[in-house]
Structure 1
């Protein structure tokens, strides 16, 4: 295909809370081969959306997806090696076929709490964020910081962090034991972040943890250890966002290009994807992205394959449908229930995320303001950054438990992100939080696991905050914040015609004694002990009322009115 030269600059905008380069600002003069066509981005959503349940579509314009065209994507699909293009099974790479055969895994419905992790090369500098690679080549402050600590980028580039990513203290069995003790039911480590470094033993990319850096199959070791303790194991792949992740300033580009250094070093061009962003280079990149996913699928049989924002645009549909069909057919062969998880409307061909097809919807750090039926999750970080940084602050168990209760009361699942270090440790403050969350769940997990939403998710306003969940015929009221010594009134349980049945018993999880109560038109007034059994949140179990049924849907989409 005919090449057009794309130009680069350092104009910036905010994407997912981080700095990202805007294509409108790509106005420098260094000649970098760029795509020959103009991407047709998704049209903005113009209909009125239900914000209470987080209904939304894909962002318009550049949002981490490769700036390419449908024709290039279709050419990449045709170039996929025949032996990898499709696994035997009922799924074909069409929305209709995926919709017909897909069902949310039954194990996910009751899991409610999983662990995510940003684990990669960015933990070596441990500065700024997990987007360090982008910022060390684009953000003036980070450029200077990098030069002061490591030298100029043409002498010490991002690739030079690979030997320093040693993981010498990584012990997969110890990590798995911690994850089990945290109360999590599944684990999703980063197999590859935006920086293009594969954390597994790969045959389709040389830039991997088995051949470089730690010289270990990190994903493989963790997969074995996690499954040994009875947890589900998934992988996240952010790799499609690598193609245009780095956008350096003019002077840096000119110098590196002239010297064939770092970003323009022929040995590393396929790692950075800066020197050539032509249609042919993008096609090759997309084929390799597909091959990496197939390799992850076949080697580790993940229970969840999680994708970041980069796959959202509609022009990428042919490629992600090919991945979905392959994955789901392979899972049929294995006899496993699996799912892709994606954001926004990436797997919602009609344009909004209430009609997702073949994927569990993920909200990044944002909890819907109201109850959303069906199946969905929120990925939320334990600290101030997703990847490990030296000055990150870490939330205590109380905050995490409150977030978990809020998500579950609205019918969702919490995917809590942790941040391992470059030498293979999970920092002590993160361990402490995880263990305390696990201790809380050992007493109160009955109100979290295998639950669904009630008719109201909670009581807000003055402390304490209340969150409700349902399991079987029991209603749980999770009391968060300062313990109300003496009595607590639950106005949502007012004795009116909208509630069926009658309150029979009230007890406190962790205590054997039943509690006294008065049920009236004002609500349920419960007598409480002076001392709370738990430091961070306490749960009342209420029986006798007729509970609403499960909000699970096979598609994962909200129940239609």
Structure 2
């Protein structure tokens, strides 16, 4: 068990301004001066990383630290009652690790050693996967910082791995030409842990990990905790200069209304000071946290049914059932994820794909293999993805996509009749989600009366394709050999 540390971290980070700031901490100023950076929309594919002390029990999900304290009922992320009775994670923890009063979440931190963590190996894998940017989780709901924090003792340099995980990844990623971001989920730390006297969560010596919130579930976020959130986020910004700052839900609730324009203005002004365009990704759930036109809109495990002219992003995990590594991790297939990438890009979005390393710092082989399969596909078909723009229609075919957070489980698999479009210069890319069953495809959206085609080729194939175009569309006969295993790209010269 961990003893109470010194109070050297309890300092307040303040803004010092010696000259006029472009962005003032109000939405009018931010809307006036902010523009989505073009570089973000061009990248299309990034990697998310959920790795922390919650990887040690490897059970349930990254919400283990919350659910291990839910002994009589489970509550949702929005603090609404979900079901009566002990949560399975609570029961598992008590049976496997002992009573939550004597073995709390804090006691996993010394066990989180990350002894096989190698930033260079991770970044090399992400490069081979075709990713252009990487966003490690810097602060999750649990309150343990994965970097050298100057505002909390609960960080990966002073405890656990005794390494600056974020710093090592930033250094290696930037050395290899990747754009580096950091995610903050810390706003929900206020309400993450269940507070009861028979848990260690009410012990005042651990309040800087479990938050100072009392036992009232609906207690508003305190002024003191909002200052703690501010200090922690500014510390992260100042010391790591992320290109992307990704915010999770709960920052969207009314309690944080005064903090949102303040942090946006601070970060965007810092970008100017650093001489680079920076961007915020935000996941709104129930509230309009950041007004449209001030950040990049992000959807968790969901997509959009059509084109959004402003850039947007889907964040999802390779894992069907968790973001962090768990012993019963279930991976999606490379085929599913490539289809998702194609569908998202055709609608002007980016895909941020999560990996869940083990507690020792290794990325499981099945996740590695999926990333390499995606990378192999992108090495052949990347022209249809990177630096492309949406076309006049995102696609055609029978499969519709549901809209909204956590909607991916409701979507059907794509078929050989489903086609998605992207464009770059005079090239139009028609991406078939599967090989046509009759070895030819009729693309109805590409009509001679509107878009005259002069040449057709399949990326990854040297075959001379037979094709014809009229006012009813474009018909292309497939080559005798497939150039790959997944979505197939026709490059049309207009």
CA RMSD after TM alignment:
2.2
Provide the residue aligned with 2:81 in structure 1. none
Provide the residue aligned with 2:455 in structure 1. 505
Cα deviation 1:99-130 (Å, max 9, x = unaligned): 12212122112101111121111111111111
Counterparts of 2:17 and 2:366 in 1: how far apart (Å)? Answer: 45
- In structure 2, the CA distance between the partners of 1:85 and 1:160, relative to structure 1 (3 Å rule), is farther
Provide the residue aligned with 2:173 in structure 1. 226
Does 1:401 find its partner at 2:341?
no
Cα deviation 1:418-462 (Å, max 9, x = unaligned): 111111111111110111111110110000001111122122235
In structure 2, the residue corresponding to 1:310 is in which secondary structure? coil
Would the aligned equivalents of 1:345 and 1:356 in 2 still touch at CA under 8 Å? no
Which one is further off, 230-239 or 326-335? 326-335
Counterparts of 2:455 and 2:465 in 1: how far apart (Å)? Answer: 8
- In structure 2, the CA distance between the partners of 1:280 and 1:473, relative to structure 1 (3 Å rule), is closer
Higher relative contact order (CA 8 A, sep 6+): 1
Provide the residue aligned with 1:170 in structure 2. 117
Offset at 1:275?
A: 5.8
Provide the residue aligned with 2:479 in structure 1. 529
Structure 2 unaligned spans of 5+: 1-10, 75-85, 399-414
- In structure 2, the CA distance between the partners of 1:255 and 1:344, relative to structure 1 (3 Å rule), is closer
Does 1:200 find its partner at 2:136?
no
Provide the residue aligned with 1:322 in structure 2. 262
TM-score (norm 2): 0.87
Cα deviation 1:189-231 (Å, max 9, x = unaligned): 1001111110000110111111110111110011101111100
2:297 to 357, 361, 364: 361
Counterparts of 1:335 and 1:85 in 2: how far apart (Å)? Answer: 17
Provide the residue aligned with 1:287 in structure 2. 227
Report 1:147-162 matches (<5 A): 147-162=94-109
In structure 1, the residue corresponding to 2:207 is in which secondary structure? helix
Would the aligned equivalents of 1:242 and 1:273 in 2 still touch at CA under 8 Å? yes
Structure 1 unaligned spans of 5+: 1-78, 257-261, 545-561
In structure 1, the residue corresponding to 2:46 is in which secondary structure? strand
Would the aligned equivalents of 1:311 and 1:346 in 2 still touch at CA under 8 Å? no
- In structure 2, the CA distance between the partners of 1:409 and 1:82, relative to structure 1 (3 Å rule), is closer
In structure 1, the residue corresponding to 2:453 is in which secondary structure? strand
Counterparts of 1:212 and 1:87 in 2: how far apart (Å)? Answer: 38
Counterparts of 2:267 and 2:20 in 1: how far apart (Å)? Answer: 10
Offset at 1:481?
A: 2.1
Report 1:258-277 matches (<5 A): 262-273=200-211, 276=214
Report 1:349-428 matches (<5 A): 356-384=292-320, 385-428=322-365
Counterparts of 2:15 and 2:246 in 1: how far apart (Å)? Answer: 24
Provide the residue aligned with 1:459 in structure 2. 396
In structure 2, the residue corresponding to 1:255 is in which secondary structure? coil
- In structure 2, the CA distance between the partners of 1:82 and 1:494, relative to structure 1 (3 Å rule), is closer
Provide the residue aligned with 2:79 in structure 1. none
Counterparts of 1:362 and 1:328 in 2: how far apart (Å)? Answer: 18
TM-score (norm 1): 0.76
Would the aligned equivalents of 2:173 and 2:180 in 1 still touch at CA under 8 Å? yes
In structure 2, the residue corresponding to 1:137 is in which secondary structure? coil
Would the aligned equivalents of 1:84 and 1:291 in 2 still touch at CA under 8 Å? no
- In structure 2, the CA distance between the partners of 1:343 and 1:449, relative to structure 1 (3 Å rule), is same
Counterparts of 1:269 and 1:344 in 2: how far apart (Å)? Answer: 28
Provide the residue aligned with 2:158 in structure 1. 211
Query: Size of the alignment, in residue pairs?
Result: 450
- In structure 2, the CA distance between the partners of 1:202 and 1:346, relative to structure 1 (3 Å rule), is farther
Counterparts of 1:373 and 1:402 in 2: how far apart (Å)? Answer: 21
